[in-house]
C-alpha cells in the first residue's frame, strides 16, 4: 500500500514538472496593437456603449487612419455622444473585431448599430498597412487572374444563395427577388474588393445589403471566406500575408 502511495506521488510530481516546463517554454501570444476604449451613451433611461478601437502610440500613421473622425465618417466622438443624448438615435452601439494582425498588415471589422425610423446595422471592413496607415489593397496579395477568379466565385456563390432562398421562401415578392438578382449580376469588382479583410482561415469578402428594412429577412448571406489554400496559386509577387 505504501509502495502504491509512493508511486502515485512520484507520477503526479513528474506530471507537474512537465506541465510547469511546458508553461514556461511555450511562446506567449503576441499582444495586439489595438486596445479598447469603452464610451457610455445615455438618453433618458436608455444606455448603450461604444467599444472604440485605439491604436498604440508607436504606430502614429495607423492611429491617424483609425481616428474617431474616420471611424464615425467625419464626426468626432463628442458629436456622437451629444446626438445620442438628444434622441437615443444615430449610432447607438459600436463593436469591433481584429480579424488579422501581422507585423505589416492589420484587418479589422467595425460593427455599428443605428437607430433612425427603425433599428439597423452595418459593418466596415478595413485593412491597413500598419507602418503607413494606408489602405492595403487586395491586389498586393492576389494576381489579376486570381482577382477575376475570386470575383466570379463570389458572384456565383451569392447568386446561388439568392435562388435557394427564393425556393425556400415562396412568399418572397418577385420584385425583391429580381432586384437581388440584378444587383449581384451588375456587381462591380471595385465594390467587392472594397469590402474585404484577412482572417486566420482566408480572405473574407462581403457586399452591402440592398433590400428595405421590412423585407430584409429575404436578404441572402453576403459574406464569403475563401481559404488561403485555394489562393496560393494566385499569390502576387508582393504578397506578405499569403505564404
Q: What was the pLDDT predicted at 13?
A: 46
Q: What was the pLDDT predicted at 7?
A: 44
Q: What was the pLDDT predicted at 10?
A: 46
Q: Which segments in the chain show pLDDT lower than 50? A: 1-29
Q: What was the pLDDT predicted at 23?
A: 37
Q: Percent of the chain having pLDDT more than 70?
A: 88
Q: Is the dihedral of CA 181, 185, 191, 193 positive or negative?
A: positive
Across the strands, what pairs with 136? none
Per the listing, cell 507602418 goes with 131
Residue 209 carries which DSSP code? -
CATH number for the segment(s) 34-136: 3.30.565.40
Q: Is the Cβ–Cβ distance between 239 and 141 less than 8 Å?
A: yes
Q: Could you state, in order of their start, the residue ranges of all structural domains in the chain?
A: 34-136, 139-234
Q: What was the pLDDT predicted at 170?
A: 82
Q: What was the pLDDT predicted at 183?
A: 93
Q: What was the pLDDT predicted at 11?
A: 42
Cα–Cα distances in angstroms (integers) from residue 135 to residues 52, 149, 193, in the given order? 19, 22, 12
Residue 142 carries which DSSP code? B
Q: What was the pLDDT predicted at 1?
A: 46
Query: Using CA atoms, how far apart are residues 25 and 21, in angstroms rounded to an integer?
Result: 6
Q: What was the pLDDT predicted at 32?
A: 92
Retrieve residue 160's grid coordinates.
446561388
C-beta neighbour count of 226 within 10 angstroms:
21
Amino acid at each position: 500500500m505504501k509502495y502504491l502511495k509512493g508511486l502515485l506521488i512520484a507520477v503526479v510530481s513528474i506530471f507537474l514538472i512537465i506541465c510547469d516546463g511546458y508553461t514556461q517554454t511555450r511562446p506567449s501570444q503576441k499582444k495586439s496593437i489595438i486596445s479598447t476604449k469603452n464610451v457610455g451613451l445615455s438618453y433618458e433611461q436608455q444606455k448603450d456603449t461604444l467599444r472604440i478601437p485605439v491604436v498604440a502610440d508607436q504606430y502614429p500613421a495607423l492611429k491617424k487612419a483609425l481616428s474617431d473622425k474616420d471611424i464615425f465618417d467625419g464626426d468626432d466622438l463628442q458629436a456622437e455622444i451629444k446626438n445620442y443624448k438628444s434622441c437615443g438615435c444615430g449610432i447607438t452601439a459600436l463593436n469591433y473585431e481584429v480579424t488579422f494582425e501581422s507585423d505589416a498588415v492589420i484587418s479589422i471589422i467595425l460593427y455599428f448599430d443605428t437607430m433612425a425610423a427603425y433599428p439597423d446595422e452595418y459593418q466596415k471592413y478595413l485593412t491597413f498597412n500598419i507602418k503607413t496607415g494606408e489602405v492595403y489593397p487586395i491586389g498586393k496579395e492576389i494576381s489579376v487572374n486570381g482577382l477575376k477568379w475570386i470575383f466570379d466565385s463570389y458572384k456565383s456563390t451569392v447568386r446561388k444563395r439568392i435562388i435557394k432562398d427564393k425556393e425556400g421562401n415562396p412568399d418572397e415578392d418577385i420584385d425583391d427577388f429580381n432586384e437581388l438578382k440584378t444587383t449581384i449580376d451588375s456587381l462591380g469588382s471595385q465594390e467587392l474588393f472594397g469590402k474585404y479583410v484577412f482572417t486566420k482561415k482566408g480572405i473574407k469578402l462581403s457586399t452591402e445589403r440592398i433590400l428595405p428594412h421590412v423585407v430584409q429577412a429575404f436578404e441572402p448571406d453576403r459574406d464569403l471566406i475563401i481559404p488561403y489554400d485555394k489562393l496560393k496559386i494566385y499569390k502576387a509577387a508582393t504578397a506578405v500575408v499569403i505564404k
